[in-house]
Amino acid sequence: MRIGDGPIAGRVAHLTLRTTRIETISDGLLVIPNKDVTGTRLYNLSYPPGAVMRLAISVAVDTDLERLRDLLASVSKNQTSQVLLTGLGDAATTVELVVPVTNFGDTRTLRAALVEEVARTLRGAGIKFTDIKAAT
């Protein structure tokens, strides 16, 4: 669930007459007064196409983008994952790996495993990276 157009998303953990408690990916348990929930848009992320996890990966400028896309696609092991070019600079090229999340509760574990696997794969392929982090 995502409330409004903000960046906070999570799974509804508990509803009471006064509050909605949302288990978020990075911030733990968020408690929101129901008056704030009823006055805004709600996005059901468990409904297809559902939630996605995004990793921003910064690599050396001279990296072959086609090879990078192939490597990242093989890491995600998901046919519907995307690798998108999001930034070009003098020092780095940034791509975003977008992976569908089928079980929102596993997002933290999936993200940690994916960051490790991306780092291992890029190092193994001799691709220098400066940053791998969750993107918003």
The domain limits of the chain are: 2-43, 51-134
Fold of 2-43: SH3 type barrels. (2.30.30)
Average pLDDT for 81-92:
91
Average pLDDT for 108-112:
84
Structure tokens at 117: 């696997």
CATH of domain 51-134: 3.30.70.100
Q: Buried b / exposed e across 29-62, counting CB within 10 Å, b at 16+?
A: ebeeeeeebeeeeeeebeeeeebebbbbbbbeee
pTM of the model: 0.67
Same fold, 2-43 and 51-134: no
Amino acid symbol at 76: S
